[in-house]
Amino acid sequence: MLNIILFGPPGSGKGTQAQNMVDKYGILHISTGDLFRYEMGNNTPLGLKAKEYMSKGELVPDEITIGMLENKVNANPDVQGIIFDGFPRTIPQADALDKFLESKNTEVTLLLALDVPDEELVKRLLKRGESSGRADDRDENIIKNRISVYKSETS
Ligand code: ADP
């Protein structure tokens, strides 16, 4: 399997680059942010829980995030590979991913880290907020919190 992790702060272009790779390699794209937004849109218990954290720009707790990610992978047993977009974001998530892939006799093939200056991230996210419908892209304080959470917990 071709298992690629796309790593980088909010607004660095993970989703855009993931789409380019899906087009080129035909592998499964898993964005934990998209999965949470889907659950939120359907007002599921998982979505309501995630919203408490996402609306503040905080990370959703590991246990919830890891369980959701594993379910998504398990629901797609026949794929040639996976692009992990926005996962892992903490050390426990990274450890869980290693163990999970090992249990499937596979491993991380490649990690691509996108690096963009902070001022550019804020600009891009505010611009995205004009059309994305994402509340967390409309408020500069929430954006700055997401960038600082990336630095303290993810990077
Ligand atoms: P961005 O990278 O622009 O912040 P995402 O769609 O990847 O956008 O994530 C949006 C929000 O979803 C995050 O701010 C966080 O609250 C939650 N989230 C996404 N992925 C994770 C993860 N791996 N662990 C915890 N929370 C996550």
Q: Determine the pLDDT at residue 11.
A: 96
**What does the pLDDT look like over 34-68, one tens digit per residue?**
999 999 999 999 999 999 999 999 999 999 999 99
The mean pLDDT of the chain is 97
Q: How far is the CA of 95 from the centre of ligand 1 (A)?
A: 18
Please provide residue 49's backbone torsions phi and psi, each rounded to the nearest 5 degrees. -65, -45
Please provide residue 98's backbone torsions phi and psi, each rounded to the nearest 5 degrees. -55, -50
* HSE value, Cβ hemisphere, 13 Å, CA-based, for 30: 22
- Tell me, yes or no, if the pTM score tops 0.85: yes
**What does the pLDDT look like over 125-153, one tens digit per residue?**
999 999 999 999 999 999 999 999 999 99
**What does the pLDDT look like over 90-111, one tens digit per residue?**
999 999 999 999 999 999 999 9
Q: Determine the pLDDT at residue 67.
A: 97
Q: Determine the pLDDT at residue 62.
A: 98
Q: How far is the CA of 61 from the centre of ligand 1 (A)?
A: 11
Q: Determine the pLDDT at residue 101.
A: 97
| Ranges of H-type helices in the chain | 14-25, 32-41, 45-54, 62-74, 91-103, 118-132, 140-149
Residue bearing the CA closest to ligand 1, atom 3: 10
Contact 60, 46 (CB under 8 A): no
Q: Determine the pLDDT at residue 138.
A: 95
Nearest atom (ligand 1) to Cα of 61: 25
Tokens describing residue 74? 């398990």
Task: Indicate the pLDDT class of residue 71, thresholds 50, 70 and 90.
Answer: very high
SS3 153: helix
Is residue 89 lining ligand 1, measured as CB closer than 6 Å?
yes
